[in-house]
Structure 1
Amino acid sequence: MGLLDLLRKLKKGPEKEIRILLLGLDNAGKTTLLKFIASEDPTDSTPTLGFNIKTVQSKGFRLNVWDIGGQKKIRTYWRNYFENTDVLVYVIDSADRKRLEETGFELGELLADEKLTGVPVLVYANKQDLLHSASASDIAHGLNLHSIRHRDWHIQACSALDGSGVEDGLVWISKIVTKK
């Protein structure tokens, strides 16, 4: 079942537009995830030096996904894309334990920004298909996600390359959006 089938089941009626901001450090797998969601070949990804925008339409939903590059020099521009964000999707490379502190810092900065106040956050603990990946629960603990208040949040283990866990995260997004 693809994203379009899932959304058709969850929402009927007039088309609803959802703006998703897809962020994370470079090499976390954001573009691979976006390609999987858009039913494109996820193995054909190159580093994003600026941003990618994909619109995925479905009966009842129009997803506008903004994938912004995660290189250190680009992160200062992330805030230019915060306006009208319905859901923040933050992607973490679960196998890159050396950068867990850095990714936690960046996520903390995002959550502290007033333009994103109350915006629901889906954290994808990506690259679970790799041998030495940290589990989603270990990442949640390491980033102290359980201390997040005043916004809905969810962490989902996934592999953007093979798609495992991706749809579970999308189900969570659909529930949050239809709840509003």
Structure 2
Amino acid sequence: MFTALGLLSILKKLTGDPTNNELRILLLGLDNAGKTTLIRSVAQEDISHVSTTLGFNIKSVKTDGYNLNVWDIGGQQKIRPYWRNYFENSDVLIYVIDSSDRARFEETGEELGQLLGEEKLSGVPLLVFANKQDLINAASASEIAEGLNLHTIRDRIWQIQACSALTNEGIEDGMQWIVKNVRKK
């Protein structure tokens, strides 16, 4: 979905508008992590019928004077090599993890590690959403941070936020972190 707000963002960037409060956010994670449900929750859209993202979705969300243009890219293994086509000009990387899918923690850690090593994402702030905290078997945000060695990240600011895209718990806190900590150059 391409919105008028997204077009306005492109025009402002092309004209160098100094009032530009646009942030380009790249939303990644393995398939079934809850990326699309999360961004639909942020946009206050219906989340009762979310299907697998086979390509990408673009959502523009306005919060605290910022227009957040979120690029939600599918997370299936066959799509992941194409993620790099979306790296350029990203202001923030949001990485979503299914906190209840412990069998895939190693895989999600490897994918995140590869992303953090990408030159085009060098220095880009990282927000990790530890999603699906509403499930009884969910790992805590601190457990995930420890398992992913997030404390060793030195080349960018980062935050991990426990959340549930279904209940909306923790999502606003993560979005507030973006607005408070990420400033356009």
- Fold equivalence (TM over 0.5): yes
2:138 alignment counterpart: 133
Query: What is the CA distance between 1:179 and its match in structure 2?
Result: 7.9
Q: CA RMSD in A?
A: 1.5
Are residues 1:20 and 2:25 paired? yes
For structure 2, the residue ranges without an aligned partner over 5 or more in a row are 1-17
Alpha carbons 1:21, 1:85 under 8 Å: kept? yes
Relative to the length of structure 2, the TM-score reads 0.87
Identity in percent: 68
> What is the aligned counterpart of 1:173 among 167, 170, 178?
178
Unaligned residue ranges in structure 1 (runs of 5+): 1-12
Per the alignment, residue 95 of structure 1 pairs with 100
How far apart, CA to CA, are the structure 1 residues paired with 2:59 and 2:21? 16
Given the alignment of the two structures, is residue 142 of structure 1 paired with residue 147 of structure 2, yes or no?
yes
- Amino acid paired to 2:174: G
**What amino acid is aligned across from residue 167 of structure 1 in structure 2?**
E
CA–CA distance in structure 1, aligned partners of residues 168 and 20 of structure 2: 26
Aligned residue for 1:140, secondary structure, equals: helix
Mapped to 1, the partners of 2:48 and 2:131 lie a distance apart of 15
In structure 2, the CA distance between the partners of 1:98 and 1:67, relative to structure 1 (3 Å rule), is same
Name the CA distance, whole Å, in 2 between partners of 1:58 and 1:146: 29
Match of 1:106, SS state, is helix
1:56 corresponds to which residue? 61
Name the CA shift for 1:120/1:59 in 2 (closer, same or farther; >3 Å).
closer
Counterpart of 2:150, as a letter, is: L
How far off is 1:175 after superposition? 1.0
CA contact (8 A) 1:14 1:60 kept: no
- The normalised TM-score by structure 1 is 0.90
